[in-house]
């Protein structure tokens, strides 16, 4: 884990949360579209499960602490987003990856709402299920914009993963 | 589909356990209250800065779906209508209570409210819309926890936390929370339960009370409600009587819960429900 990667992660996390609160959430309401969740998904798709999990947990916890519900709910859900997207990554087609990101983020938002209801925070399950598909489409659209950007950034010399060998090799071996 | 190594699996499980610990800690008590308010305050001040840059873009994008349909004129007229209706409602309410007030030798002072204008600078940072908004006014402007927020015509919500420069408002339509409300036509009181984007569901306390389509609801007596009384909640759209005799009415909110921008915080109100500083509105 290099210093440049940590700095880039913090910058990305803050930007995503601020844009979500001031631009994406107001414009997309009442669809539960989430830019930070999409960023987690895209980073996991590009960089694999470990980075995805760590970034998802950190972003989720910050978002949790910045809102009313108990901390840990979004951390748990976005940890799952990082994990799933890391596992399902294809890394070649942009459109397939965007679809994966959209559907995983849509699932995560339903899961988060279930948890909100369990811990008695604001949120209605009926709304979450009604809006799950449009929200997933919105997420996929955001992912379509983010994937090329994140790919380019994470493949520069200073932000490259320190040990790219393992995941690249297995992918290479499986697809011949 | 790739697989995780053993170490990665352990790390995933560990992080999940940590997240569950956080949830239990936060549910159990105030262990994380300082962390919450610290992060909320920091993000709140960042929202103010970000809103200066993206605010115009957001307002433009919110206008795109209705562009070309003269929506802005309609909205303006609607707002004007709502304001005038609000004034009529206040007059009606005053007429109805003035007799009682005279008997009680109290000044009829239902309109003297001190309002602090504020602008919505952020929604929740997590996902979509979690029924809270952040305002650009805080405790240094006189905002305190629990104060009522209106948009000039209708009820918006109440202040959950006031930080120094920003405050977080829980919207009244938040699913599951209740507002003490009064039917203006009959004077019957009841509870209006939030239904999210659909508005409210009103249930009168007296099961025999007659609720009609078109009845207007205002926030009720202060004892049953954490809101300042006499603020417009919404209009009854449909009424359903179930077999066991209970009445439920669907209420269309006066202030749209998902389209709040400029709002006002009601600053001064004493516990008895008459408002402290008379004169200004």
DSSP code string of A70-116: PTTHHHHHHHHHHHHHHHH--SS-HHHHHHHHHHHHHHHHHHHHHHH
Which residue among A31, A71, A76 sits closest to B16, beta carbon to beta carbon? Answer: A76
- A-chain CB neighbours of B174 within 8 Å are 122
Which residue among A26, A72, A88 sits closest to B23, beta carbon to beta carbon? Answer: A72
Alpha-carbon gap, residue B213 to B236, rounded angstroms: 5
Instruction: Assess whether pLDDT exceeds 80 at residue B62.
Output: no
Query: Are the CB atoms for B211 and B183 separated by under 8 Å?
Result: yes
Instruction: Assess whether pLDDT exceeds 90 at residue B262.
Output: no
Spell A13-50 as b/e; 16+ CB within 10 A means b.
bbebbbbbbbbbbbbbbbbbbbbbbbbbbbbbbbbbbb
Which residue among B15, B20, B125 sits closest to A53, beta carbon to beta carbon? Answer: B15
- Nearest residue of B to residue A63 by CA position? B126
B146-172 pLDDT, tens per residue? 888 888 778 889 898 888 889 999 888
Mean pLDDT, rounded, of chain B: 78
Q: Is A30 close to B128, i.e. CB distance below 8 A?
A: yes
Single out the residue of B171, B135, B145 nearest to residue B255, CA to CA. Answer: B171
- B-chain CB neighbours of A17 within 8 Å are 43, 125
Q: Is A53 close to B5, i.e. CB distance below 8 A?
A: no
Residue found by looking up tokens 């914009």 in the block:
A145
B71-89 pLDDT, tens per residue? 677 777 887 887 787 777 7
Higher pLDDT, B57 or B102: B57
Give the gap in angstroms from C-alpha A164 to the nearest C-alpha of chain B.
Answer: 14
Please indicate if any CB of chain A lies within 8 Å of the CB of B16.
Answer: yes
- B-chain CB neighbours of A79 within 8 Å are 12, 15-16, 19
Q: Is A18 close to B127, i.e. CB distance below 8 A?
A: no
pTM, two decimal places: 0.74
Query: Are the CB atoms for B43 and A63 separated by under 8 Å?
Result: no
- Cβ within 8 Å of B, A 21-50: 21-23, 25-34, 36-37, 48-50
* Low pLDDT (below 70) residues in chain A: 1, 162-176
Alpha-carbon gap, residue B151 to B159, rounded angstroms: 14
Query: Are the CB atoms for A124 and B196 separated by under 8 Å?
Result: yes
User: What is the pLDDT at residue B12?
Assistant: 92
Q: Is B47 close to A22, i.e. CB distance below 8 A?
A: yes
How many residue pairs from chains A and B have C-beta atoms closer than 8 A?
Answer: 203
Spell B156-174 as b/e; 16+ CB within 10 A means b.
bbbbebbbebbbbbbbbbb
Residue found by looking up tokens 């008459």 in the block:
B274
- A-chain CB neighbours of B26 within 8 Å are 70-72
Please indicate if any CB of chain B lies within 8 Å of the CB of A51.
Answer: no
Residues 6+ apart with CB under 8 A from A62: A13, A17, B39, B125
Higher pLDDT, A141 or B91: A141
B121-138 pLDDT, tens per residue? 888 777 766 788 899 888
Q: Is B2 close to A89, i.e. CB distance below 8 A?
A: yes
Please indicate if any CB of chain B lies within 8 Å of the CB of A134.
Answer: no
Tokens representing residue A145 in the block: 């914009």
User: What is the pLDDT at residue A145?
Assistant: 92
User: What is the pLDDT at residue B107?
Assistant: 31
Geometric angle at alpha carbon A114, from A113 and A115, rounded to 5°: 90
Instruction: Assess whether pLDDT exceeds 70 at residue B103.
Output: no
User: What is the pLDDT at residue A16?
Assistant: 94
């Amino acid at each position: 884990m290099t210093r440049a990667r940590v700095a880039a992660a913090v910058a990305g996390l803050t930007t995503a949360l601020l844009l979500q609160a001031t631009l994406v959430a107001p414009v997309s309401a009442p669809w539960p579209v989430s830019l930070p969740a999409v960023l987690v998904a895209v980073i996991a798709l590009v960089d694999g499960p470990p980075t995805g999990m760590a970034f998802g947990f950190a972003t989720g916890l910050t978002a949790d602490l910045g809102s009313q519900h108990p901390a840990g709910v979004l951390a748990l859900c976005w940890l799952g987003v990082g994990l799933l997207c890391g596992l399902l990554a294809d890394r070649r087609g942009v459109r397939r990856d965007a679809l994966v990101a959209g559907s995983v983020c849509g699932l995560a938002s339903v899961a988060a709402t279930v948890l909100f209801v369990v811990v008695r925070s604001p949120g209605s399950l009926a709304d979450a299920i009604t809006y799950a598909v449009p929200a997933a489409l919105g997420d996929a659209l955001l992912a379509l914009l983010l994937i090329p950007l994140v790919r380019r950034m994470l493949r520069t010399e200073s932000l490259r993963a320190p040990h790219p060998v393992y995941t690249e090799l297995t992918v290479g071996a499986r697809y011949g | 589909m790739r697989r995780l190594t053993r170490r990665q699996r352990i790390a995933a499980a560990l992080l999940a356990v940590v997240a569950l610990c956080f949830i239990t800690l936060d549910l159990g008590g105030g262990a994380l209250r300082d962390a919450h308010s610290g992060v909320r305050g920091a993000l709140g001040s960042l929202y103010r800065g970000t809103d200066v840059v993206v605010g115009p873009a957001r307002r433009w994008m919110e206008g795109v779906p209705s562009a070309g349909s003269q929506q802005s004129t309609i909205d303006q007229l609607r707002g004007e209508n709502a304001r005038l209706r609000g004034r009529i409602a206040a007059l009606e309410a005053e007429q109805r209570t003035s007799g009682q007030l005279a008997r009680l030798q109290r000044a009829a002072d239902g309109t003297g409210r001190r309002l602090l204008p504020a602008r919505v600078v952020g929604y929740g940072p997590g996902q979509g819309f979690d029924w809270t908004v952040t305002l650009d006014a805080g405790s240094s402007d006189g905002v305190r926890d629990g104060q009522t927020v209106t948009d000039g015509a209708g009820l918006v919500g109440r202040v959950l936390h006031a930080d120094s420069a920003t405050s977080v408002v829980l919207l009244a339509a938040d699913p599951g929370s209740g507002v003490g409300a009064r039917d203006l036509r009959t004077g019957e009181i009841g509870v209006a339960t939030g239904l999210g984007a659909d508005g409210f569901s009103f249930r009168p306390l007296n099961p025999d009370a007659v609720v009609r389509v078109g009845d207007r609801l205002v926030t009720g007596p202060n004892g049953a409600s954490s809101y300042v009384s006499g603020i417009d909640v919404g209009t009854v759209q449909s009424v359903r009587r179930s077999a066991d005799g209970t009445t439920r009415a669907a209420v269309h909110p006066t202030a749209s819960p998902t389209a709040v921008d400029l709002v006002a915080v009601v600053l001064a109100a004493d516990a008895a429900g008459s408002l402290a500083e008379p004169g200004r509105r």
